[in-house]
Amino acid sequence: NCWLSVSLWCLVGGLNGRFVTRNSRPNIVLLMADGLGVGDLCCYGKDAAPSPDGGGPALPPTSLLLQAEQPRSQVASPPEQQRWPQGSTPNIDHLASEGVRLTQHLAAASVCTLSRAAFLTGRYPIRSGMASSFNPNRALVWLGGSGGLPTNETTFAKLLQHRGYRTGLIGMARGTLNVNTLMFMLRGYQVIFLPGKWHQGLSCASRNDHCFHPLNHGFDYFYGLPFGLFSDCQPSKTPELHRWLRIKLWISTAVLGLVPVLLLIPKCARWFSVPWKVILVFALLALFFVSWYSSYGFTRHWNCILMRNHEIVQQPMRGERVASLMLKEVLAFIDRYKREPFLLFVSFLHVHTPLITKKKFIGHSKYGLYGDNVEEMDWMVGKILEALDRELLANRTLVYFTSDHGGCLEAQDGGAQLGGWNGIYKGGRGMGGWEGGIRVLGIFRWPTVLEAGKVIDEPTSLMDIYPTLSYVGGGILPQDRVIDSRNLMPLLEGKVSHSDHEFLFHYCGVYLHAARWHQKDCATVWKVHYVTPKFSPEGAGACYGSGICSCTGDVTYHDPPLLFDISRDPSESQPLNPDNEALFGSVVQKIEAAIKDHRRTLTPVPEQLSVFNTIWKPWLQPCCETFPFCGCDKEDDILSTA
């Protein structure tokens, strides 16, 4: 019997790479998309599809609904040519079928910098100062700014580095300290971050101090974009950064430039006297506006750069090479460290504009460039999973797939939709507390530990990855600060049936727009909105006029607040009131009491996204040559094809 047991153990170990127990430390692979809509994947089609009675928001003309799980006769679906085929995302769908799928997975903010800061630290971004009170500065917009994730914040990388882990981050970053910094090396683990967004700041006082750099947040190695991806990174694309501000700057520059000229006419003609000081003041103002406006012309060279540790290796970065480089680095890493535990964080540039896509995928989808970009990302996910299978690592690897926030509805080029679709959920990226901007994908796979095909409809947060990975990797959570996240493993393993989150708060910058109460005694989820953005044009479902919705100013304040029963009305289409909901008063009172308790835990911190911290500063601008003549390409071994 003993010999038989040993033989069976060896057989199982040989077939699966290693015998796995819950107490063994797994490899960890984190996959994060950039702005992927919850309605863009087949595996979420049923949850994101309109109800049989046609409830939920109307489908946009270029909607990308993937309804593989729900019979066509049961849903109000768009025409056939507007639907995804079932095989558009086969690799991510397969991942979901083999793991646990979270259907009420929520980002801490509906924009990237804030969401990723929370993901990295397990805390609401307002606690670290990574939230703004100024509408145009909702995220970091210049590498030459002085804001970023404070070094006193404990990231996952730093947390587990203190446990003897070696840490590395390879990838594209967007801004300063990004969610991607979550990479860590679990005690003897190799940790890598692959191309994606950092977006959490770079320098504080001088060009090369790199105080917010990943290497100062617990990483031993970094390769990628310290900022991220904008349409400005592609010369042929419509500028994205501060598009409307640029127009205003151009008008102001033209007006101020004319004033000194007009004042010189009467002075030279001796019609009346104009003091030279007045002319000089207007001339200096015009010069200031010209300098400010012209700085946007250098966005590609100043923001779109590729770094290895502290060295700039490509300025501007060559976008067409990113996907090939990313996949090459991922596969090489898995091959190199397949015999020891590792953490691999892959932060995709997909599916953020300008939707940089390899030629082999252009025209591959029936749904334009956005569809091509989604399918390329799915192909890359497949290659990563295939490598895990090939090296017999799948059974001892925890894989997590998500997005930093919902799809961007305003991203359009003529009649083509360049952003994701959020299914039945109202709103999208940058829209405060509306569900479409914060409800994201959440897929966990860990064979032999997590049940395949399980679906959990409990409120969970992107922040929860912080204590979850700490628990899995044997880390110790900081005791000197408030941690807003919860360990998901008991819920994922089925040891508990309810999420530990009773209340979740939904901010837009520093402003609390909405809050959610998970009433555990009856599993009802209530949600209140105190502030909602005004869509433009009137009657639209997004802020097409401005490109992104405001957190303050152009908003609607609700007193009493809007109340929804998310468990029955996830599309937030049927607001409740005292006439149709007997519990209206008590529910609102309960949530308001929770908000007061939450606010008592907040402490004043420097605002990292203030106007001063986010404006461009020449002395902080990274440059691989002599500023302002910045340009180099030291990366001559990038794979040309993958």
> What are the Cα distances from residue 233, in Å, to 236, 238, 306, 320, 495?
9, 10, 12, 11, 47
| pTM (2 d.p.) | 0.84
Q: Percent of the chain having pLDDT more than 70? A: 76
C-alpha to C-alpha distance for 118 and 130, rounded to whole angstroms: 9
SS3 state at 207 = coil
> What does 322-339 look like in DSSP terms, one character per residue?
HHHHHHHHHHHHHHHTTT
pLDDT per position as a tens digit, 151-198: 889 877 676 566 554 455 555 544 443 333 333 444 555 555 554 556
Find tokens 């964080």 and name the residue: 345
Judge whether residue 330 has pLDDT over 90.
no
| pLDDT one-digit tens code per residue, 502-524 | 999 999 999 999 999 999 888 89
Q: What is the pLDDT of residue 17?
A: 43
Place of tokens 């959490």: 200
Per-residue pLDDT, averaged over 411-439, amounts to 91
Which residue of the set 42, 43, 112, 624 is catalytic? 112
Helical H runs in 516-583? none
Residue 69: predicted pLDDT:
33
| Phi, psi (deg, nearest 5) at residue 527 | -140, 130
Beta-ladder partners of 255: none
Task: Tell me what the pLDDT averaged over the chain comes to.
Answer: 80
More confident of the two residues 35 and 236: 35
CA distance 576 to 560: 11
Residue 292 pLDDT grade (very low, low, confident, very high; cuts 50, 70, 90): low
Assigned CATH class of 27-44+85-179+191-229+304-641: alpha beta
Question: In this structure, are strands 416-417 and 412-413 parallel, antiparallel, or unpaired?
Answer: antiparallel
Active site includes 162? no
- For residue 111, give both structure tokens: 């924009």
The structure tokens 């941690």 sit at: 483
Q: pLDDT of 217-268, one tens digit each?
A: 777 777 778 887 777 777 777 666 666 666 666 676 666 667 777 777 777 7
Q: How confident is the model at residue 482 (pLDDT cuts 50, 70, 90)?
A: very high
pLDDT digits (tens, 9 = 90+) for 381-402: 999 999 999 999 999 999 999 9
Catalytic residue among 105, 199, 352, 518: 199
pLDDT at 245: 63
2 is catalytic: no
Task: Please tell me the distance from the alpha carbon of residue 458 to that of residue 431, in angstroms, as a whole number.
Answer: 22
The token duo for 159 is: 């947390």
In the chain, % of residues over pLDDT 90: 43
Q: Which distant-in-sequence residues (6+ apart) come within 8 Å of 183 by Cβ?
A: 30, 156, 157, 167, 168, 169, 191, 192, 193, 219, 343, 344, 345
Which residue carries 């890493």 as its tokens? 333
Start-to-end Cα distance in the chain: 50
Instruction: Determine the average pLDDT of the residues in 564-569.
Output: 96
Q: Which of 37, 126, 44 is nearest to 463 (CA)?
A: 126
CA distances from 381 to 30, 46, 93, 505 (A): 11, 22, 10, 32
Three-state secondary structure call for residue 351? coil
Q: Which of 114-118, 233-237, 456-460 has the lowest mean pLDDT?
A: 233-237
Write out the two tokens for 604.
Answer: 């004043």
- Kindly report whether the peptide bond that precedes residue 351 is cis, defined as omega within 30 degrees of 0: yes
Contact 524, 532 (CB under 8 A): no
Among candidates 312, 290, 304, which has minimal Cα distance to 352?
304
Residue 389 CB neighbours (<10 A) = 12
Residue 595: closest CA among 457, 433, 447, 474: 433
3-state secondary structure of 18: coil
Largest CA-CA distance found in the chain, in angstroms, rounded: 114
What are the CA-CA distances from residue 524 to residues 288, 484, 567, 597 (Å)? 56, 21, 6, 21
Q: Give the pLDDT score at 327.
A: 85
Residue 36 pLDDT = 94
Between 593 and 252, residue with greater pLDDT: 593
What span, in angstroms and rounded, lies between the C-alpha atoms of 625 and 404? 34
